[in-house]
Structure 1
Amino acid sequence: MFNIKDVALLMALPNESQGLFEKENISVHYTGIGKVNAALTAMDVIHKTRCKVIINLGTAGSGKFNTHDLIEVSSFVQRDMDITPLGFKIGETPFDPIPGVIDLIPYFPELPHGVCSTGDNFETGTSKLPADLVDMEGYAIAKVCRKMGVQMISLKYITDGANHNAHNDWAANLIPGSQRLLEYFKKMVAFS
């Protein structure tokens, strides 16, 4: 278990917490949508809080896992980095020392684990990169954590099938998602 003083909690939007974390006096840093916003917020939070661990909680779509599953992300890839005409692999940033696949250290052995594809689009089809779930912020947070030497744990509640109805399913499943994410946050963090 981590001491609350060593942890910073990042979520994309207040919609994902539904105010439940704030009702428990848990500080949430909201990144906003997309990789640039997520990276800027992660860097700012690490500098201001001097945290040792970033816990990233949020929602995701998946064609593999079922709606309402809670998944621990085992690695992140970025689906919208495509420099293949110059001979690079999809997801690989040219001349960057940080790899296109960022692996995380698992925390919850009882949860299913999956590869999360991050991109600046609301994915509703098949990704160019093999992945089990999709989001819009995770890879950027993982990259900042890797660069700054901060541990990252990421849990994603599956709200939709990353298909044509994803936008409706996402909104309909936010409340049960926030409840489950709060439950698992409390399993990771000691508040005294």
Structure 2
Amino acid sequence: MTEILVVAATKSEAAHVPAHYETVITGIGKVHAAVAVTEALARHRRGTPPVVVNIGTAGALHLHHGGLYVPSAVINHDISSEVLRSLGYPVEDVLELDDGDGTVLATGDSFVSDAQVRDALAARADLVDMEGFAVALAASRMGAQCRLVKHVSDHADETALDWPAKVDASARALAQWLVERY
């Protein structure tokens, strides 16, 4: 049986994950996520690392998106990639993920609740969150496989501010996917 490490940003997103899964709550944002995943995987240094499964909510960048997604790629949307590259510094800002559904997740430290920001991101991605890229990068650097599983909680506009009222429904759907898959 494959050993997995369930990773969520908040306790509320992991509220319905059964107790027998090893679960790490990272805190919100890329820095917290990268550090927490690296620390957790460092504890597994002997043998094969677990598969990291990042469950969490996401904002939909297109009105037709809703439900559960397993992204095929994740981008770090709030780094100045073009500027850094023009200065001669390579930037890893896109990660491809195995066994995805074709969607692209954009990760950034800004909570997206503005329709103009959402529409700009929609040219590059389908969903937006605040931890996915960091989780995937930390897992990759530590030699672990990673799967991102996101449930749409809002449409990355003013409805995002209702996240606390919607997170439990997303947590239930994410836990159901987890139990059915692993």
Report the TM-score, using the length of structure 2 for normalisation.
Answer: 0.85
AA matched with 1:151: Q
Residue 30 of structure 1 is aligned with which of 25, 28, 37? 25
1:78 matched residue in structure 2: 76
The answer to whether structure 1 residue 103 and structure 2 residue 92 are counterparts is no
AA in 2 matched with 1:14: K
Deviations 1:9-41 (A, max 9, x none): 1000001123x225x443320010111100001
How far did residue 48 of structure 1 move?
Answer: 0.9
Q: Deviations over 1:40-96 (max 9, x none)?
A: 01101111134331000000001226575101111110111014345549xxx9335
CA deviation digits over 1:126-156, x for unaligned, max 9?
3456110000011011111221221001110
Change (3 A) 1:148 1:166: same
Counterpart in the other structure of 2:146: 152
Q: 1:162 to 1:149 in 2, by over 3 A?
A: same
Residues 4 and 21, structure 2, Cα contact 8 Å, conserved in 1:
no
- The residue that corresponds to 1:48 in the other structure is 43
**d(CA) in 1 for partners of 2:50, 2:11:** 23
Say if 2:81 and 2:93, in contact at 8 Å, map to a contact too.
no
Contact kept, 8 Å, 1:142 with 1:152, in 2: the verdict is: yes
SS of 2:58's equivalent in the other structure is strand
Q: Structure 1 vs Structure 2: percent identity of aligned residues?
A: 28
TM-score normalized with structure 1 length: 0.81
Stretches of structure 1 that go unaligned for 5 or more consecutive residues are none
Taking a change above 3 Å as real, the CA distance of residues 26 and 166 of structure 1, as seen in their structure-2 partners, is same
> Are the equivalent residues in 1 in contact too, given 2:76–2:133 (CA < 8 A)?
yes
Look up the match of 1:119.
Answer: 108
Q: Secondary structure at the match of 1:73?
A: coil
Does the aligned pair in 2 maintain the 1:60–1:159 contact within 8 Å?
yes
Give the letter aligned to residue 119 of structure 1. G
CA distance in 1, matches of 2:56, 2:165: 14
Question: Any unmatched runs of 5+ in structure 2?
Answer: none
1: CA distance, partners of 2:156 / 2:95: 22
Q: CA RMSD for the aligned pairs? A: 2.3
- 1:65–1:158 contact (8 Å) kept in structure 2: no
Secondary structure in 2 matching 1:15: coil
For 2:111 and 2:77, locate their aligned partners in 1 and report how far apart those are by CA, in whole Å. 11
CA distance in 2, matches of 1:25, 1:86: 44
How much has 1:187 moved relative to structure 2? 2.0
Aligned to 1:143: 137
Say if 1:167 and 1:61 are closer, same or farther in 2 by CA, change over 3 A: same
Q: Contact 1:66–1:161 (CA<8 Å) still a contact in 2?
A: no
